[in-house]
Amino acid sequence: MSTFDTDALECLAAIVEEGSFQRAAVRLNVTQSAVSQRLRAFEAQIGAVLIVRSRPLKATAAGQLLLRHTRQMRLLRADLERDLKELAPAATGGAREDERISIAINADSIATWALVALNELAAQGLPLEIITDDQDFTHDWLREGQVLGCVTTLKQGLRGCKVTPLGAMPYVAVAQPAYAHTHCPAGLTQRNFRDLPFVAFNRKDDMQSEFVAKALGLRRVALRQTFVPSSEGRVRAVLAGWGASVVPHTQVSGLLEQGRLIDIAPGHSLPVQLYWHCWNLESEVLDSLTRALSQAAHGTLLQGRAAAA
C-alpha cells in the first residue's frame, strides 16, 4: 500500500476547502505554481485525476476518498495534541490552521443551543470549523467526507458512522403585532395563509410550508416566501414587518413574552427531531464533541414523549 505524503494530502485539502489554487497557495504559504506542481505529482502517484477544474474547484471521487483520509489524520493529530497537552502542557504549540476539525450544524441550532455546547472545547483550543446548512442537508456534508460529524434531522446513520439522538426543537409561527393585526387579525387561517409572505432561510427550507400544512390540516401548501439565510436575520426581518416566519420557540420566547412578537398559530408547534452523526472512530475529540452536544441538547431540546408530541 502506498504511503501518502502529508504535505500532498494537505495541499489537496487546501485546494478543495479554499476553492482555488491561489487561495490554497496563500493558506499553505507557498507559490501558486508550487501548489499546481504538488497536485500534479500527487495525481501521478495516485494514477487518477483528483480535482475537477470547476468554479469552485471540487474533488473527484478519488479525491474525496483522500480528503476523508486527510480529515481522519487531522483527527488523530488533534487527539495526540490533547493527550500531549495533558502530559506536558509546555510541549505543544497551537494547532495549525490547516488542521481544523470540521462539523456541520444547522443555522437554527447554532443560533440557539449548539455554540454554548462548544464553548469549553473552543476555550481548550480545539480548532473548530462549523459549516452551516439546512438541517435536512447537513448530512450531505458527512456523506461526502467533508466533515467529521453533523447535526441533522435524518435518523438513519451512514456506514461507518454512529448516531446519537439529541431531542426535538419546537418551531412556532410568529409575526410582529402591528403586522399581524393588519394582515392576519384572526391568526393563521386557510383563508389568509396564501397572502402572507413568509421569511424562510433559503430555497432548501421547507419548514414554513410544513408547519402551515400541519397547522391548517392541509396536505400541501404553496407560500409566498422571502429568503434571509440567517436565523437571527429572519427574526430581525419579522420584527421589521417583512412578514411571518416559522422559527425555533427557544429563539423567540423572550420576544413573545415582551410582546414584540406574537404567535399567529396558538396551540400549534412543530417539533423537529435532531440527531448527531459522526464517524465511528476511537477518538477523544469525537467523544468530547458528542458529550458536549448531547448535554447541551438535553438541557434545551424536548426529550422523550415531549419530543414525539
Kindly state whether residue 45 falls inside one of the protein's structural domains.
Answer: yes
**Average pLDDT for 249-253:** 96
Kindly state whether residue 299 falls inside one of the protein's structural domains.
Answer: no
Kindly state whether residue 7 falls inside one of the protein's structural domains.
Answer: yes
Q: What is the pLDDT of residue 143?
A: 84
Distance, CA of 237 to CA of 245 (rounded, Å) = 9
Kindly state whether residue 297 falls inside one of the protein's structural domains.
Answer: no
* 86 and 173 both lie in a single domain: no
Q: Is the pLDDT of residue 1 over 50?
A: no
Q: What is the pLDDT of residue 91?
A: 47
Residue 15 structural domain: 1-99
Domain boundary among 99, 122, 149: 99
Identify the CATH number of the domain in which residue 26 sits. 1.10.10.10
Q: Is the pLDDT of residue 180 over 90?
A: yes
- Per DSSP, 273 falls in state E
* 173 and 266 both lie in a single domain: yes
Kindly state whether residue 296 falls inside one of the protein's structural domains.
Answer: no
**Average pLDDT for 171-196:** 96
Distance, CA of 61 to CA of 48 (rounded, Å) = 10
Identify the CATH number of the domain in which residue 225 sits. 3.40.190.10
Name the band, by pLDDT with cuts 50, 70 and 90, for residue 309: low
Kindly state whether residue 145 falls inside one of the protein's structural domains.
Answer: no
Residues 6 or more apart from 51 whose CB is under 8 A from it? 12, 15, 16, 39, 43, 57, 58, 59, 60, 63
Q: Which range, of 76-90, 113-127, 247-261, averages the lowest pLDDT?
A: 76-90
**Average pLDDT for 12-40:** 90
How big is the CA angle at 188 (ends 182 and 193), to the nearest 5 degrees? Answer: 85
Domain boundary among 57, 74, 99: 99
Distance, CA of 74 to CA of 69 (rounded, Å) = 9
Kindly state whether residue 162 falls inside one of the protein's structural domains.
Answer: no
Mean pLDDT of the chain: 88
Q: What is the pLDDT of residues 132-143, one digit of tens each?
A: 988 888 888 888
pTM: 0.75
Count of structural domains within the chain = 2
Q: Is the pLDDT of residue 175 over 60?
A: yes
